[in-house]
Structures are given as C-alpha cells and as structure tokens.
Amino acid sequence: RISELPPIPAFDGIFQSLEKLHVAADLIVVSQTTEDALVREWNHAGLTGFVDVIAGAELGSKTESLKIAMEGRYGPEQAVMVGDATGDLDAAREAGCFFFPILPGDEVNSWTALCAEGLVRVQNGTFAGAYQEELISRFNSVLTETPPDER
C-alpha cells in the first residue's frame, strides 16, 4: 500500500527556499493527493510551517484550487503555480496565472532560481513575456529529454 511507504525526504535547500518565499508571499500547496496524505508528508518533512494552506484533491482540481485561492485576492500577475508536471503547467494556464517549473533532476537549482529570479520578477512586474516563455520552453525541453522512469 502507498500509505505504508516511507515518506520521501525534502530536497536540499527547500527549507531556505520556502522560508524566503513565505516571508514575501502566501504559499498554498495544491495537489491531487488527498489532504490527509499531504499534511502527513509535509509534517514529516517539517515543511508545514512554511505554507498557509494545503489544498488536496477533496477541494477539486488544481485549476479549481488555484482559482479559489486567487479569487478576490490576487491578480494573474501576482500568482505563480510552482510545479514539476505538465498538469501543473496546464492548471496555471487554465487559472490564468504564471508558472515556474521545478525541473526533474535539477530540483535544487530550480528552487534556488525561483527565489533568486522568479520571486523578484513577480515583484517588479517582469515575469510575463520572454521570461515566462523561456521557463516553459526549458521545462518542455527537459520533459522531452528525460525518460519518465528517470524523472
């Protein structure tokens, strides 16, 4: 059973990244995993203190959760879906927000870049356009180059 598998440890540098992001933004976990499993995994990894909301599958699709989180609070230029799968990119597009990819096999550098570049670009209004397109192009390229069993 999946629930009996040991929890996956957090990536190196994730604590520092989430801490920096949480000071500057509201952080919401959006997943198609059940909320119970998400809370258990994030608690085990010691990460729940860095997020404001954990939204599991019970709340609906990723797109629905993003739209609910943004409604009346954040415009499209203020919200970023951070993800590692094409479904995350699709949800961001459908919700009308930005997407920042966590590249399979390069997770640590991805989180570092999110803090060093992505956050700053959202804050100064330069995320849209060429920067967003470049991120998505690199993400699609990595997914094409990386066999599914190596992601």
- The pLDDT value recorded for residue 37 is 92
144 exposure class (CB count in 10 Å sphere: 0-12, 13-18, 19+)? exposed
Report the number of distinct structural domains present in the chain. 1
Q: Is residue 16 part of a domain?
A: no
When computed from its CA atoms, the radius of gyration of the chain, rounded to whole angstroms, is 15
- The pLDDT value recorded for residue 145 is 74
Q: How far apart are CA 80 and CA 77, in angstroms?
A: 8
Residue 66 is part of a domain; what is its CATH number? 3.40.50.1000
The parent domain of residue 31 ranges over 23-142
Q: Is residue 151 part of a domain?
A: no
Q: Is residue 18 part of a domain?
A: no
- The pLDDT value recorded for residue 10 is 80
pTM comes to 0.88
Q: Is residue 14 part of a domain?
A: no
Q: Is residue 15 part of a domain?
A: no
Alpha carbon 121 to its chain centroid, in Å, reads: 16
Q: Is residue 8 part of a domain?
A: no
- The pLDDT value recorded for residue 27 is 94
Residues of the chain with confidence (pLDDT) below 70? 1-3, 5, 146-151
- The pLDDT value recorded for residue 3 is 62
Q: How far apart are CA 113 and CA 101, in angstroms?
A: 10
Q: Is residue 2 part of a domain?
A: no
- The pLDDT value recorded for residue 9 is 76
Q: How far apart are CA 45 and CA 99, in angstroms?
A: 24
- The pLDDT value recorded for residue 146 is 58
- The pLDDT value recorded for residue 6 is 73
Q: Is residue 104 part of a domain?
A: yes
